[in-house]
Homo-oligomer: A and B are copies of this chain.
Amino acid sequence: MARRRKSDCPIHFALRIFGDAWSLLVIRDLMFKERGSYTDFLRAEEGIATNVLAERLARLEGQGIIVKGAGRYRLTRKGIDLVPVVLEIIAWSARYDPDTAAPRAFVRRLRGDKQGLTAEIRARLEEERRRRS
């Protein structure tokens, strides 16, 4: 099968998978907001359109980032491995956005104990993943 990739750059690889705002917001909801159903995603404050949401969910599922079961989506191991990416984005935004909604205690923990916080979030998501699979 001919490969049609424009580049094997690791940033490009990642961006083709989750490099649009809506995909990463879906991943965020699954990591932090205990939202997991189609309706939950639609209710997110940013206001995603149903057709866009359906397309993003299908893409993320096709890429093995999320799986669906019993009407709810959850992160796979590959999706859970995005926790460090998302945490670094939160840290950067908390630093530069004067109106950030990132909880202060969370940001303090992220600055002082990134490894511990990462491990804790991963453990919670792994637990959810096992419980539902």
A residues neighboring B (CB under 8 Å): 3, 5-16, 19-21, 24-25, 28, 45-47, 78, 81-82, 84-86, 88-97, 99-102
Contact = CB atoms under 8 A, between A and B. Distances in A.
Contact of A12 (B3, B8, B21, B82): B21
Contact of A93 (B3, B13, B47): B13
A92 B97 contact: no
Quickly give the copy total for this chain.
2
Given A9-B101, A19-B20, 19 more contacts: A3-B99, A6-B46, A8-B97, A8-B99, A8-B100, A9-B28, A9-B46, A10-B93, A10-B94, A10-B100, A11-B89, A12-B21, A13-B97, A13-B100, A15-B21, A19-B24, A81-B96, A84-B88, A88-B88
